Structure 1
Amino acid sequence: MIELEGLTKRYGDVLAVDQLTFTVRPGVVTGFLGPNGAGKSTTMRMMLGLDHPTSGSVRIDGRHYRQLRDPLRTVGALLDAKAVHGGRSAYHHLLCLAQSNGIPRSRVGEVLDLVGLAPVARKRTKGFSMGMGQRLGIAAALLGEPRIVMFDEPVNGLDPEGIHWIRTLMKNLAGQGRTVFVSSHLMSEMALTADHLVVIGQGRLLADTGMADFIRENSRSTVRMVSPEYERLREVLHGAGIDAAPDGRGGLEVTGEDAAHLGELAARHRLTLHELSPRQASLEEAFMRLTATAVEYHAHQDRPAADASAGGGWGAGWDARGSRGSQERKEPRR
């Protein structure tokens, strides 16, 4: 279990993490979401004792990270897959970590086989692809068979097979009762993997809730209705005080109404329906809706690419808040 209480981090005048309080519980995959600059990486670094909080605390199974005698046996983490000496082989990289934490040498071969790197175990890591580096980072995180695992963007560089593998791995670890905490910008993957979500924006907690509840509370559901009696259907809905908008595909889109209620209404008026389909919003839509005011860097989609060269370089395509990240910060939120 990971417990944060009032966790705060300042870099000079910049407040990177602002009074975060939440608990990451065992037995579920907890997703950690937030826009660029929200403070996710800074928060994870403080969890691992790599950064010191300005105030507040983080406890790992009731203790501060620095109090853990064999940290790799308690917490396994992947924050930066590139943090490897390129002159070492994958085997010797993991062996060094194992020996420093009292982990048997035999465990090195086990995790290399688990992540699919056994055939290249004796090759120097400087020749590894991004995906191979990710697998090695995951192997290091699992080396001590920890009760808690933390992954920052674990699917970077992985092929479809690798993405499916890491998704299954995280679910299996949670199923064993371990604490699994994962940060990612890939909403489609998070929707398939996470059971619980912690969402932050500009360093502040925005949501701490289950996946289904998060989508329901931060999005709107619609029902698509298609009928050969299009105009009459609109009249019936209007007469019932229900707003319906054309969906551009020959149907009507109704917001805030139950599909069963709409079907019963159509039946009472003997209306033929060719389609009555409820549509649940995606995790991406719910996330965008919740974090709309917490996004720090905005690209202007309606501005032509030529503006970048005509109006002062790449920065011309960003709003005024974009300059805040590059000019005011001594240490950016990540």
Structure 2
Amino acid sequence: MIELEGLTKRYGEKLAVDHLTFTVRPGIVTGFLGPNGAGKSTTMRMMLDLDNPTSGSVRIDGRHYRSLRDPLKVVGALLEAKAWHGGRSAHNHLLCLAQSNGIPRTRVREVLDTVGLTSVAKKRTKGFSLGMGQRLGIAAALLGDPEILMFDEPVNGLDPEGIHWIRNLMKNLAAQGRTVFVSSHLMSEMALTAEHLVVIGQGRLLADTSMAAFIAENSRSYVRMRSPDHERLRDVLSGAGITARPASDGSLEVDDEDAPHLGELAARHRITLHELSPQRASLEEAFMQLTAESVEYHAHDGRPPEEVPPGAPAAPPGGRPGWGADWRKKGA
């Protein structure tokens, strides 16, 4: 279990992490989300005592990380790919870690096999691709067979097979009762992996809830209905006290009703339906909705200056609105 209480980090005038309090529990995969610059990496570094907090605390199973006698046997972490000596082989890199942490050398072969690097175990790591580096970093995290695992962008550089593998690995580790904490910008993958979410923005906690509750609370769900007898369907719904919103594609969108009830209503009135489909927002849509006010910098979509919507702020001296990164800082 990882417990954060009032965790705060300042770099001069910059408040990177702002009184974060949450708990990462065992038995489930907990996703850690936030826009760029939200403070995720800084938070994870403080969890491992790589950065000292300005105030607040982090406890790993009730203790500070620095007080752990055999840290690799308690916490395994992947924070940065290629954090090793390029002249060493993958096997020797892991062997050095094992010997310095009292881990049997047989464990080296086991984790190399787990991550699929057995065939390149004797090759120097300086020639490793990004994906191979990720696999070696994951092997190092698994080396001590720890109960707590932390991964920062674990799918970075992996091919589809590798992404599928790491997804199942994290789920299996959690199913064994371990604490699994993973940060990623790949929303589609996080939606398939995490059961619980911690979301931060500008260093502050925005959400600490289940995946299902997060999507439900930060997005709109509705039922889409399509019929060749569009007007009659709308009248029937209205007569039943149900508000149907017309969509641009000719369908009707109904909030706060379930699809079976709507289908039965149409059937009773002998109305043919070409579509009756519940629509639920994706994790990405819910995340964008919640964090919209926490994004520090915005980019434009590349439209020429004359296509910028009327009323948009004028560009700064020498700048051109509509091109490149937005010069306007949020809240400025």
Tell me which residue corresponds to 1:195: 195
Question: Separation in 1 of the partners of 2:291 and 2:217?
Answer: 13
Q: In structure 1, the residue corresponding to 2:108 is in which secondary structure?
A: helix
Alignment of 1:272 onto 2:272: yes
How many pairs are equivalent? 322
Matched, 1:166 2:166: yes
Contact 1:303 1:317 in 2 (8 A): no
Query: What TM-score, normalized by structure 2, do the two folds share?
Result: 0.91
Percent identity between the two aligned chains: 77
User: For residue 87 of structure 2, what is the aligned residue in structure 1?
Assistant: 87
Q: Which moved more, 1:126-135 or 1:89-98?
A: 89-98
Structure 1 residue aligned with 2:130: 130
Q: What letter corresponds to residue 242 of structure 1 in structure 2? A: T
CA distance in structure 2 between the aligned counterparts of 1:231 and 1:56, rounded to whole angstroms: 60
Q: Distance in 2 between matches of 1:97 and 1:314?
A: 50
Structure 1, residues 90-118: CA drift from partner, whole Å, max 9, x if none?
11111111111111111111111111111
Pairing partner for 1:320 from 301, 324, 328? 328
Kindly indicate whether structure 1 or structure 2 has the higher relative contact order, using CA contacts under 8 Å at least 6 residues apart.
Answer: 1
CA deviations over 1:122-175 (Å, ceiling 9, x no partner)? 111110000000000000000000010000000001111111111111011101
Matched letter for residue 112 of structure 1: L
Aligned partner letter, 1:252: L
Output the CA distance in 1 between the equivalents of 2:130 and 2:302.
Answer: 34
- Partner of residue 246, structure 1: 247
| 2:53 alignment partner AA | P
Is the 1:48–1:65 Cα contact (8 Å) retained in structure 2?
A: yes
Matched, 1:105 2:113: no
- What is the aligned partner in structure 2 of residue 291 from structure 1? 291
Distance in 2, matches of 1:161 and 1:212, equals 26
> What's the counterpart of residue 311 of structure 2?
none
Distance 1:65 1:315, change over 3 A: farther
What is the Cα deviation at residue 7 of structure 1?
Answer: 0.4
For residue 181 of structure 1, what is the aligned residue in structure 2? 181
CA contact (8 A) 1:15 1:203 kept: yes
Q: TM-score, normalised by structure 1?
A: 0.91
Counterpart for residue 46 of structure 1: 46
- 1:34, distance to aligned residue in structure 2 (A): 0.6
Unmatched runs of 5 consecutive residues or more in structure 2: 309-314
Cα offset, 1:222, TM superposition: 1.5
Deviation of 1:296 after TM superposition, in Å, equals 1.4
Report the Cα distance in structure 1 between the residues aligned to 2:113 and 2:251, rounded to whole angstroms.
Answer: 53
Amino acid at match of 1:32: F
Deviation by residue 1:238-297 (Cα, 9 ceiling, x = unmatched): 45350312241x422223333233234323433222221111111111111111111112
CA distance in 1, matches of 2:224, 2:248: 8
Are residues 69 and 187 of structure 1, via their aligned partners in 2, closer, same or farther at CA, if it must alter by over 3 Å? Answer: same
Q: Tell me if the contact between 2:78 and 2:141 (Cα under 8 Å) persists in the aligned partners.
A: yes
Per the alignment, residue 64 of structure 1 pairs with: 64
Aligned residues of 2:301 and 2:323 also touching (Cα < 8 A): no
CA distance in 1, matches of 2:322, 2:278: 41
Distance of 1:294 and 1:61 partners within structure 2: 31
Residue 175 to residue 273, structure 1, CA distance change in 2 (3 Å): same
**1:180-207 C-alpha deviation (Å, 9 max, x unpaired):** 0000001111011101111111101111
> Aligned with 1:81: secondary structure?
coil
**Residues 143-158 of structure 1 mapped to structure 2, 5 A cutoff:** 143-158=143-158
Q: Aligned AA for 1:321?
A: K
Contact 1:220 / 1:256 at 8 angstroms: preserved in 2? no
Question: What's 1:20 paired with?
Answer: 20
In structure 2, C-alpha distance between the alignment counterparts of 1:94 and 1:322, rounded to whole Å: 44
**Quick one: structure 1 residues 74 and 315, their matched pair in 2 at CA, closer, same or farther if it must change by over 3 Å?**
farther
Which whole-Å CA distance do the structure 2 matches of 1:200 and 1:281 have between them?
Answer: 20
Stretch deviating more after TM superposition (277-286 or 46-55): 277-286
In the alignment, which residue of structure 1 is the partner of 2:312? none
In structure 1, C-alpha distance between the alignment counterparts of 2:56 and 2:325, rounded to whole Å: 38
Name the counterpart of 1:224: 224
Amino acid at match of 2:90: A
Q: Identify if the C-alpha distance between structure 1 residues 48 and 210 changes in structure 2 by more than 3 Å, giving closer, same or farther.
A: same
The one-letter amino acid of 2:260's match is A
Q: Is the 2:17–2:203 contact (alpha carbons within 8 Å) kept by the matching residues of 1?
A: yes
> Quick one: distance in 1 between partners of 2:105 and 2:121?
14
Higher mean displacement: 238-247 or 65-74: 238-247
The match for 1:328 is none
